[in-house]
Structure 1
Amino acid sequence: LAGRTKTLNFNVGVLGHVDSGKTSLARALSSTASTAAFDKNPQSRERGITLDLGFSSFTVDLPDHLRDAGGRQQYDSLQFTLVDCPGHASLIRTIIGGAQIIDLMMLVVDVVKGVQTQTAECLLIGELTCRRMVVVLNKTDLLPPNKRQAAIEKMTKRLHKTLESTRFKECPVIAVAAKPGGPEAPDTEEPHGVPELIELLKKQAYLPKRDPGGDLLMAVDHCFSIRGQGTVMTGTILQGSLAINDTVEIPALKVTDDYTVIGRNLFKKETNLQLFVGLKVTLSTGETGVIEGGFGQSGKFKIHGLRPETKLLLSSTSKKRGKGGSKGGAENEEEPRTEFQPVSIHLHFKRYVFDPHKKMIQR
């Protein structure tokens, strides 16, 4: 389309030791935040540490060295998506999960404390998962002004010595103060060194290899429920591609396809539907389906294994009951079928009282 801009997305992982200032740095850089960015989780705020992956972004003009890199796919701007990873050792699985999707690692180091335990672990993860790294010496505001530059140079030399035997030999090191005065300080004082860091990130950016062919491979970032809607899953596509109305198979959760329908009014919303998963139900159409699990938190549930014609009947029934249609029959004339019987669901089971797990068992 004419006038439509194309944006190249580049994922930057923000890793480092706990309390090195990763989240403050992500906040200082970002212009757009996701629902999980900047420790919005109440537990994160209460404990003062990052517990889950946080996502935020900012957009810059496309650097000159990327103008012809896209080939036929010409880009107009460059978006940096920051993946803010936890720093605590006990959350190493979450850190590894975040590292799977990054194109460049931003290793945040407390300039006063230097390389710490999780700093080294993050460095190892980076060696396994990404090609490039930038080291950010944070909290330079804690250094005495008259000794600041000397301390930064000393720490930079020490880091280059540490990185000599890694794939990130001679990687760039830059000094910043993402949150001068600490987390509790007012926001009146501007961060130091952030514009220079953005310029450095622009120079380090490259055209990531994205393979739109092959099987779909998606790294799941978050999974949460929305009342009345069901489960929402967000993630990053690493391989393959998706289009609206495509059918997606999630192996651990079985398959959601054209032979799955939603039932209602059989269970109360407080019912533990996990007790009924796998039980057979009989429809008034004469066929049998299997309860696959709950749908949302309203007592609705998924039934799998129905015939295509039953699915069509149910779709027609839902159209017949459509949204805000007139009662005079104008809509009804468009329907190929004029008489519909509600499709009812019957569940027959017995519970053995002596079963310690209270499992529902059918004959």
Structure 2
Amino acid sequence: MAGRRVNVNVGVLGHIDSGKTALARALSTTASTAAFDKQPQSRERGITLDLGFSCFVVPLPGAEPGTSDTLLQVTLVDCPGHASLIRTIIGGAQIIDLMMLVIDVTKGMQTQSAECLVIGQIACQKLVVVLNKIDLLAEGKRQAAIDKMTKKMQKTLENTKFRGAPIIPVAAKPGGPEAPETEAPQGISELIELLKSQISIPTRDPSGPFLMSVDHCFSIKGQGTVMTGTILSGTISLGDSVEIPALKVMDDYSVIGRSLFKKETNIQLFVGLKVQLSTGEQGIIDSAFGQSGKFKIHIPGGLSPESKKILTPTLKKRSRAGRGETTKQEESTERPEPIQPVTLSLSFKRYVFDTQKRMVQTP
């Protein structure tokens, strides 16, 4: 299909066994390698253990015929529902633009449903409530039961920022997970139309600092550790340095500089120039971290033990006295000690009449 695709991320959240994965399967036309509980452990236990990604493509709402941006790709982020996997749920919620809260219509609001609602209030601005498994309701009383659950959900959402959010009934997998694939899902086309009306195209900033939310990390034999994720802002190219704060990796030949340049400065123009550290070492600007203003400095001779001591955050243990007793080491708490600031100096000459506008440093 011709035309550039505009992507939005829709989270599928809810209590365990509310039919989230079945709903994602019914909506999707393309699945990733991690979609629909493909892990052996997930199939064995019958629950979602990791984030699953799949998508479907529809015409972009409001697009003029003949324009290049005619397709809207809706990426579904299928999140686990088990309480012990709350960190994985939060990881999925931080990349979504809209949230589908899936409710088992026969059970109503449950513990993890409420937790997902709280996460949604923090992570996104729009919500669609999906009342799933309507096929399990008695046919004669089905509409009355749907209306009753709709009113309950409206009352639940009344004191949240999602007040007035649309609520739609569906049956993603009629007959349950073990039923044969003979009956078509109910309400899926209506749900797609509802999603199209609720989706707002997010603004992605390719010129901002590079920020990627990591959703999977695994090892490939002969290659090493591989991370996959969703880029929320900025761009990256081969050879760029990426900071992974959670790893807290340190070495004797590299330091990260900041506050020397403005965020809008193209630091690539300064790569290769020498900088002087207030600790005495001389370094070379090696690379930049997007347009965050941070940059990597290579120290050819390495940091001295004194400099490493200054630059390394230290944690001091603090003892707590027992009540009515002399001070003793009952428990230890760690707190970071203040770090002595290290300043950077960059000196260069730029000649007014130089057409190439080179920056020159004296040896």
Question: What do the CA deviations read for 1:42-99 (whole angstroms, capped 9, x no partner)?
Answer: 11111111111000001001111x559xxxx962200000000000111111101100
- d(CA) in 2 for partners of 1:59 and 1:12? 13
Question: What do the CA deviations read for 1:202-256 (whole angstroms, capped 9, x no partner)?
Answer: 1111111212233211100101122222222110111211234433333416489
| Alignment of structure 1 residues 84-123 onto 2, 5 Å | 84-123=78-117
What secondary structure is seen at the aligned counterpart in 2 of 1:98?
helix
- d(CA) in 1 for partners of 2:248 and 2:180? 47
Structure 2: stretches of 5+ with no match in the other structure: 255-297, 301-363
Q: 1:249 to 1:4 in 2, by over 3 A?
A: farther
Q: 1:75 to 1:243 in 2, by over 3 A?
A: farther
| Alignment of structure 1 residues 9-48 onto 2, 5 Å | 9-48=7-46
In structure 2, the partner of 1:197 is: 191
Q: Contact 1:15–1:107 at 8 Å: present in 2 too? A: yes
Runs of 4+ in structure 1 deviating by more than 4 angstroms, as ranges, are none
In structure 2, the partner of 1:7 is: 5
Structure 1: stretches of 5+ with no match in the other structure: 260-304, 308-363
- d(CA) in 1 for partners of 2:109 and 2:31? 29
| Residues 1:236 and 2:234 are matched in the alignment | no
Structure 1 residue identity aligned to 2:49: L
What secondary structure is seen at the aligned counterpart in 2 of 1:231?
strand
Q: Contact 2:3–2:68 at 8 Å: present in 1 too? A: no
In structure 2, the partner of 1:210 is: 204
| Alignment of structure 1 residues 58-69 onto 2, 5 Å | 58-64=56-62
Q: Contact 2:49–2:80 at 8 Å: present in 1 too? A: yes
Q: Contact 2:213–2:230 at 8 Å: present in 1 too? A: yes
In structure 2, the partner of 1:221 is: 215
TM-score, normalised on structure 1?
0.66
In structure 1, the partner of 2:261 is: none
Q: Percent identity?
A: 68
Q: Contact 1:67–1:74 at 8 Å: present in 2 too? A: no
Question: What do the CA deviations read for 1:184-216 (whole angstroms, capped 9, x no partner)?
Answer: 111121111101100101111111121223321
- d(CA) in 2 for partners of 1:97 and 1:67? 35
| Alignment of structure 1 residues 162-311 onto 2, 5 Å | 162-251=156-245, 252=247, 254=249
Structure 2 residue identity aligned to 1:143: L
Question: Which of 47, 67, 71 lines up with 1:77 in the alignment?
Answer: 71
- d(CA) in 2 for partners of 1:34 and 1:255? 35
Question: Which of 48, 51, 62 lines up with 1:50 in the alignment?
Answer: 48
Structure 1 residue identity aligned to 2:231: I
Task: Quote the RMSD (CA, aligned, Å).
Answer: 2.4
Structure 1 residue identity aligned to 2:230: T
- d(CA) in 2 for partners of 1:59 and 1:232? 28
What secondary structure is seen at the aligned counterpart in 2 of 1:45?
helix
Structure 2 residue identity aligned to 1:151: A
Q: Contact 2:52–2:79 at 8 Å: present in 1 too? A: yes
Q: 1:226 to 1:67 in 2, by over 3 A?
A: farther
Give the drift of 1:306. 11
- d(CA) in 1 for partners of 2:16 and 2:96? 19
In structure 2, the partner of 1:130 is: 124
- d(CA) in 2 for partners of 1:4 and 1:16? 35
- d(CA) in 2 for partners of 1:116 and 1:206? 29
Question: What do the CA deviations read for 1:139-188 (whole angstroms, capped 9, x no partner)?
Answer: 00000111111110110011001101100001000000000011111112
The number of residues matched between the two structures is: 255
In structure 1, the partner of 2:305 is: none
In structure 2, the partner of 1:145 is: 139
Give the drift of 1:136. 0.2
| Alignment of structure 1 residues 305-320 onto 2, 5 Å | none
- d(CA) in 1 for partners of 2:2 and 2:92? 31
Q: Contact 2:12–2:100 at 8 Å: present in 1 too? A: yes
What secondary structure is seen at the aligned counterpart in 1 of 2:201?
coil
Q: Contact 1:249–1:255 at 8 Å: present in 2 too? A: no
Q: Contact 1:248–1:255 at 8 Å: present in 2 too? A: no
